[in-house]
Chain A
Amino acid sequence: MGTRMDIVLPGLSEDFGTELSSVIARQIEEVEQSLSVYRTDSGVSKLNRLFRGSGSIVIDDAFLFDALEFSSDAYRMTKGYFDIAYGGSGNFGQVCLDRKNQRIEVERPGIRLDFGALGKGLAIDKARACLECAGIDNGLISFGESSILALGCHPLGESWPLGISHPEKSAEFVHVFQITDASLTVSSTLRNGSDGSCTMHSHIKNPFTGQLVDEAKTVAVVAKSAAIGEVLSTSLVVALDGEQRDIVENANISEAVSIVFEGSGMEKQRSWRKVILK
């Protein structure tokens, strides 16, 4: 998915850790092969090409089909805020999935799908299953430090302490999570540059208003499933304040925090206000 993965497994021998990392990497490879738009031969890339000409396609990639069903459920759960479709005049609401025949139908060809963040969440969930199968109780897997599995606890504590840094003052935390056996997912409209600067990452649109999200906002979600965490964090960063609580109300997550940073972006230190959604 174009994101770096770090695996931290304290207390293991190098051989075992290396072997486990290879196993996890192979699992991630399968996710990539189905869901990564960075690969021209992935399942989703092939599907996107087929969408140009046809509205009804049989999918023989089982994992891809499962991911499509998950996306469909997520679309409904977030009232349309989580939408993996773009392009043409499509949104994922127009997609029909026929599980019996493993078929996808769209009303208007030209739609394209991008699993993006969801792919990372699904990959984290697969990696968690690997670790648990291997009898690992404690470990941390980070995808680009925005999707993080915190299994068990830090070797020196009873949880993994993960803190959302102030974008311009990394030593200051705007919120700290103490996480055990869950995933933390962070979505943000801010992007840190390699020079330490912090700017708005202005590509996220509200799917209903069509407007770009113009708030400097970071949302962090803790959930047992990283995929669900991704769905929620992505949706909540786009959703308007009043709608956020509706989205989290019935979601299978344990914590959700929304932080809005205020300031022009040219100031050195933005102020911030935090809302605990769950």
Chain B
Amino acid sequence: MAEGNIEMKGDYFGSTSRRAFLQQFVTLSASSTVLAVAPWVNLLRAEELNYGSSSSTVRIGVVGVGSRGQALLLRLLKIPYIRVVAVCDNYDINYDRALKITENGATGYRDYRRMIDAGNLDGIVIATPLAEHAHITVDALNAGLHVFCEKAMARTLDSIQKMRVAHEQTGKILQIGLQRLFDPSYLHAIHQIHLGEIGEVTQVRAYWHRNSDWRRPVPPGSDLETKINWRLYRETSAGLVTELATHHIQVANWIFGDIPTRVMGSGRIAYWQDGREVYDHIALIYDYPQGRQLLYDSMTNNAKYGLEAQILGDKGTIEVEAMKGFSEAPSPPTPGILQLINNIREKSFSVLPIGGASWVPELASTDLGENMSQGNYDSTLMSLEAFAMSIRRNEIIPGLFREGYHTSVAALLGEQAMDTGTTVRWSQEYTIPTNSVNEYGASHS
């Protein structure tokens, strides 16, 4: 059954905005350069995402329904061919809220093992604190379930490796939640870069500046500080590098079509002297082959500059979060002025023609396109649909796991660099090679 024949559930997003979003993928799938770096685009073209009959409903359990988990749950509930069968959280407030969101349509669990053992699932979505990602993922994969695991994959390199091994050995889907991989804005930018529009790209500069203590409220008198504010403590979090930097490390890997060779950096607690253990200021330099670099910084007491990834080429610049492109070449003069300049050069004394009313000129910057988040439909929704679609097709999307894996490794190597004050080299054991001609590879010496 085609999409248009299915009644969309709820009003979180309209079918119109979803169609408009997917139409971008139809356009993007015509680009061989986009397909080379994002082969999933071909799978996500509108005609591929037909909902089919109810027998191909995908049954999902969500583990970890805190802030991010809720956002994922709300989106999952709006995808007609996904049925959220179970929700799991060991924190009462989250547990109660999750059941309420599903209008008690899902079964509630406080222990993910019981959720898995209950069966009746095709896959799970994991949005727990970082340190819990690995064992839940491995257990689920070994139980025959497919897994969507939020970034940044796991707390330690060892855990990341365990997840990789389980994924490879079970052959089950493991998709890491990095939604820019599904963002048409980014795909358009990559397309233009590969067309040579900004020339040779040697540097990506990314930053994420916020002004907030990053704390979540803790019930007074409770001992839940480290549980609720897990992001602030080293046992459970690497802080800004895993929670924020991973997004743009992934982008840089994608832009360069490569993985870093080494990383150096500095992390400090400069402002929030509140007992936290993670840095509130980080600055990282990732070196890539052929001399290219990612410069990244993040801090949490000034939000003036916000969030951006600047892609710098010898012919132009792309600010991809703002969807702006800039040319290094000066803008050409207006026609009358151009004629004047040519006349002067040719030693011709001619009248300069003046046109009609003032006109709005072509600006130095050009928009790369419309904001691709159409209405409420967004790249996170797309990433979840991709997960569900690959479950229905029983196909692992080529290249997708490698993106999430390499990014997660790079983030933790960055943490090491900051902690030790040394340059940390990428070890070959962390490289997933290219498997087919459709997958772009990561090769470096």
Contact = CB atoms under 8 A, between A and B. Distances in A.
Nearest to B338: A6
Interface in A114-158: 117, 120, 140, 142-148, 154-157
B188 to A, nearest CB: 24
Chain A interface category by residue count: 35 or more
Contacts, number: 98
Interface in B95-151: none
A252 interface: no
Contact of A148 (B349, B354, B356): B354
Interface stretch (A50-58, A87-95, A159-167, A243-251): A159-167
B337 to A, nearest CB: 4
A3 interface: yes
A211 interface: no
9 contacts: A3-B359, A4-B361, A6-B334, A10-B344, A144-B360, A146-B355, A163-B352, A167-B355, A186-B354
Interface in A184-207: 184, 186-192, 198, 201
Given A156-B348, A156-B349, A201 B333 contact: no
Contact of A145 (B331, B354, B362): B354
B433 interface: no
B436 interface: no
A163 B353 contact: yes
B340 interface: yes
Contact of A198 (B336, B354, B356): B356
Given A142-B334, A191-B359, A165 B341 contact: no
Give the bracket for the number of chain B residues in contact with chain A: 20 to 34
A145 B337 contact: yes
Contacts of B358: 3, 117, 120, 143-144, 146-147
Contacts of A144: 334, 358-361
Interface of A: 2-4, 6, 8, 10, 117, 120, 140, 142-148, 154-157, 160-165, 167, 170-171, 173, 176, 184, 186-192, 198, 201, 218, 220
Contacts of B334: 4, 6, 142, 144-145
A238 to B, nearest CB: 13
A161 B359 contact: no
Contacts of B336: 142, 145
B337 A142 contact: yes
B354 A184 contact: yes
A162 B360 CA distance: 21
Contact of B341 (A8, A145, A163, A167): A8
Nearest to A261: B356
B354 A162 contact: yes
A170 B355 contact: yes
A167 B357 CA distance: 10
Contacts of B351: 161-163, 173, 176
B347 interface: yes
B340 to A, nearest CB: 6
B349 A161 contact: yes
Contacts of A165: 353-355
Interface string B321-341: 000000000010110110011
B349 A146 contact: no
Nearest to A186: B354
B415 to A, nearest CB: 39
A57 B385 CA distance: 55
B353 A173 contact: yes
Given A8-B340, A10-B344, A3 B353 contact: no
Contacts of A143: 358
Contacts of A146: 354-355, 357-359
Contact of A154 (B331, B349, B356): B349
Contacts of A187: 357
B350 interface: yes
Contacts of A4: 331, 334, 361-362
Contacts of B341: 8
Contacts of B349: 154, 156-157, 161
A25 to B, nearest CB: 12
A184 B341 CA distance: 19
A92 to B, nearest CB: 21
B362 A155 contact: no
Contacts of A189: 357
B356 A167 contact: yes
B357 A188 contact: yes
Interface in B346-394: 347-362
A187 B355 CA distance: 10
Contacts of A201: 356-357
A218 B359 CA distance: 14
Contacts of A167: 355-356
B353 A6 contact: no
Contacts of A145: 334, 336-337, 354-355, 359
A191 B360 contact: no
A142 to B, nearest CB: 6
A201 B304 CA distance: 40
Contacts of B354: 145-146, 148, 162-165, 184, 186, 220
A160 B347 CA distance: 14
Contact of B353 (A8, A147, A170): A170
A152 to B, nearest CB: 13
Residue picked from B336, B348, B360, most chain A C-beta under 10 Å: B336
A140 B340 contact: yes
Nearest to A190: B356
Contact of A3 (B352, B355, B361): B361
A117 B357 CA distance: 11
Nearest to B348: A156
Contacts of A8: 337, 340-341, 344
B337 A192 contact: no
A154 B361 contact: no
Nearest to A146: B358
A188 B359 CA distance: 11
Contacts of A188: 356-357
A202 to B, nearest CB: 11
